[in-house]
């Protein structure tokens, strides 16, 4: 009976490990901080990695090979009286069918990240109580990552996770956790991103996000011409959304993730597809005009 119990416990452990959604690499860069015990950063990195990767964030079940690949890089600029002033770079990606290529889904740098932490503090996330900016920010980005991943596989499939992120924003506003959570504070903060993602004005963009990945990239190995045509056909929707909400963060973050990929996709396109794509992309993101125009050479 003891052996049976051990075997059952082992099976339960395997299932639990396979049930998690994320395979997230967390890194803490403390190069800018002088005179601080460096062990606190190692402890924090380990605690955050365990919190994000060992927690079950949804009712979905993922096989170990299906976990979402992502990174969170926290750059600490200053530590004073256990208050960390930092920024966080969040990236996620997903595999493209029948290839070894991983497509970037989300690439975002958050410059307003301040939190309190003492070494060996127990980090917990309680959906009903948001009173810690460190765990609130991490939970917010976890739901954003899962939402983007789900949107890439099914139309508007990420909505429940974006709504969870919105709930964190609302709770953080009520708890007055600091910068990044409030409307009108910035057009490029956490509030603005989730507001865009759940705004009806960007519903067509989110549908295109699905078509870009499932009907475009995932079909490249079957028929590259048709797949590229699908991607090209939807590009004007990005311009339409950007004109409706100029400099919208959801569009700029899409291009931050996809610029290199788009240039590669259209490198083998017809002259008309290249010309049309360059016109749209330059209109949305004129600062990158020289890069986009490389597609015409």
Q: What is the per-residue pLDDT across 72-97, written as a single tens digit (0 to 9) for each? A: 999 999 999 999 999 999 999 999 99
Domain boundaries, the chain: 1-142
- The Cα-based distances of 254 to 187, 213, 258, 260 in angstroms read 15, 13, 6, 11
Task: Over range 269-275, report the average pLDDT.
Answer: 94
Tell whether the model's pLDDT for residue 5 goes beyond 50: no
- Range from 46-60, 115-129, 148-162, 203-217 carrying the lowest mean pLDDT: 115-129
Task: Over range 175-185, report the average pLDDT.
Answer: 91
* Angle at CA of residue 131, ends 127 and 135, nearest 5°: 65
Sign of CA dihedral 192, 197, 198, 204: positive
């Amino acid at each position: 009976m003891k052996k049976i119990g051990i075997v059952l416990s082992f099976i339960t452990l395997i299932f639990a490990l396979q049930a998690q959604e994320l395979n997230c690499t967390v890194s803490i860069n403390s190069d800018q901080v002088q005179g601080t015990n460096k062990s606190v950063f190692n402890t924090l990195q380990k605690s955050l990695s365990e919190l994000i990767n060992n927690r079950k964030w949804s009712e979905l079940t993922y096989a170990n090979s299906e976990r979402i690949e992502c990174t969170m890089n926290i750059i600490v600029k200053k530590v004073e009286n256990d208050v960390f002033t930092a920024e966080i770079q969040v990236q996620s990606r997903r595999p493209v069918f029948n290839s070894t290529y991983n497509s970037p889904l989300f690439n975002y740098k958050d410059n307003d990240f301040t939190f309190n932490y003492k070494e060996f503090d127990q980090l917990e996330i309680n959906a009903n109580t948001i009173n810690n900016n460190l765990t609130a920010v991490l939970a917010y980005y976890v739901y954003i990552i899962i939402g983007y991943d789900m949107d890439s596989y099914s139309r508007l499939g990420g909505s429940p996770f974006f709504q969870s992120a919105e709930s964190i924003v609302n709770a953080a506003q009520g708890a007055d956790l600091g910068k990044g959570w409030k409307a009108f504070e910035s057009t490029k903060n956490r509030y603005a991103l989730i507001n865009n993602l759940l705004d009806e004005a960007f519903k067509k963009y989110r549908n295109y996000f699905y078509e870009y990945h499932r009907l475009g990239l995932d079909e490249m190995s079957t028929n590259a011409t048709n797949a590229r045509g699908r991607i090209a056909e939807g590009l004007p929707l990005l311009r339409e959304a950007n004109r409706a909400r100029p400099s919208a963060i959801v569009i700029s973050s899409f291009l931050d993730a996809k610029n290199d990929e788009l240039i590669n996709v259209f490198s083998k396109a017809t002259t008309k597809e290249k010309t049309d794509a360059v016109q749209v992309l330059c209109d949305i993101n004129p600062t990158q005009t020289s890069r986009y125009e490389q597609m015409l050479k």
